[in-house]
Amino acid sequence: MTGTPRHPDVGTAVRYHTALTRRATAEEPAGFFHPDVVQHEFPNALAPDGAVRGLLAILETAERGRAVLSHQAFDIVEAVAAGDTVALEVRRRGTRAVPLGELPAGHEPRARFAAFLEFRDGRIVARRNYGCFDRLAQEDRRRRSEVPPRKEINSLPVHLMALLSAFQ
């Protein structure tokens, strides 16, 4: 991250993700949430129908993650705060502890996501996650067969590049 803004809720959001990186047990992450918290996870590769969770379900999901990943890290790329809302851009990576379908233990899933956190009384009361996960099975099959990956074109049309540069 280019520098953590001094907004207190940004600090709380960063500490929460640091606790997840340390694989903290449920009690520590629970302290970051308001009792009335609601999380909206929008459809993605791991939750194709999305999900809405309260506090107990959020903590259960985190514990399941601890069981299937031997390591995970959350890198905060950017954080912006306005009022009681913090917007985060996050990179997540991990190492699978157990196989899942075609994915063996040791597979290293990666994701990027945006999270919008709303705070009440210094605790997270609402969370909206928009996740983008790597192509899991295809990436692993390619790695196992040692076929070099095809070259990806990483360029955007000129008008999109100009638009993006206006926001930097």
| 3 found inside a domain | no
**Per-residue confidence (pLDDT) for residue 155, from 0 to 100:** 44
Instruction: List the chain residues with pLDDT less than 50.
Output: 146-168
Domain CATH number, residue 108: 3.10.450.50
Domain containing 34: what range?
A: 8-166
**Per-residue confidence (pLDDT) for residue 164, from 0 to 100:** 46
Measure the CA–CA gap between 53 and 88, rounded to whole angstroms: 19
Largest CA distance in the chain: 53
| 89 found inside a domain | yes
**Per-residue confidence (pLDDT) for residue 103, from 0 to 100:** 85
Structural domain count, the chain = 1
| 45 found inside a domain | yes
- The DSSP call for residue 96 is E
pTM, full prediction: 0.75
**Per-residue confidence (pLDDT) for residue 154, from 0 to 100:** 42
**Reduced to 3 states, what is the DSSP secondary structure of residue 153?**
coil
